[in-house]
Amino acid sequence: MTAYKAHQLRSQFLKSYSTIQQVFRRMEADDVSTDISAYSGKMGSFYDVFKQYLAGVHECGVFSNTSDAFPCAGFKEFNNKRNRYKNYNGTEYLARGIFDDGQLVLSDGTFVAIENPNGVDHLWVLVDINGFGKLPNRWGYDLFTFQFINGELRTMGDRETTYNDVEKYCNPKKGDGLNGIACAYKAKTETDYFKSLVKHFK
């Protein structure tokens, strides 16, 4: 059972990673700017472009206009502690500000959020591989972060990404509020990552 669940989680992770990569590749093929500075002046500007490259999505909206209805994570639902996202070891809740620059849900139920704040030179795509409404809603278990940097989509924790100290930011023994943000790198590079994960969270 552990092996089956681990395989399912890994498959969902790799599928989501591939889907997001394809969006950026199609944007580049269409000569649509992938320069993150081009989207830093207006909230939701990247989201408005990004969503056009995904078919059959459920749009949740941006900032205070984000829908509170499932499968979205608006203010009301996000503040419901049953569903609210936590760090890797479950000791702290994640700030809603990470999820307010645009949310959408893919046709397979995958929840996607954009972190593209004004005046900040980073662009993150957060993916909940089993959807907002399904627990555990933990960074590093079902929530993973990717960063578009130097013309390439990378798993957070990879070289040059904002949080590349994997031992600090993907460690079940650490209580840091951002612990789990770099687990996408381990999920991509370690074939037994999800097997260990499922055993740890039993």
Q: What is the pLDDT of residues 122-180, one digit of tens each?
A: 899 999 999 998 999 999 999 999 999 888 999 999 999 999 999 999 998 888 899 99
pTM across the whole model? 0.94
7-34 as b/e, with b when 16 or more CB fall inside 10 Å?
Answer: eebbebbeebbebbbebbeebeeeeeeb
Q: Encode pLDDT of 68-107 as tens digits.
A: 888 898 888 777 777 899 999 999 999 988 998 999 999 9
- Domain extent for 123: 2-190
Residue 133 has a pLDDT of: 85
Q: Is residue 22 part of a domain?
A: yes
Q: Is residue 79 part of a domain?
A: yes
Q: Is residue 198 part of a domain?
A: no
| DSSP element (H, E) containing 24 | helix 2-29
Residue 83 has a pLDDT of: 83
Q: Is residue 164 part of a domain?
A: yes
In the chain, the number of structural domains is 1
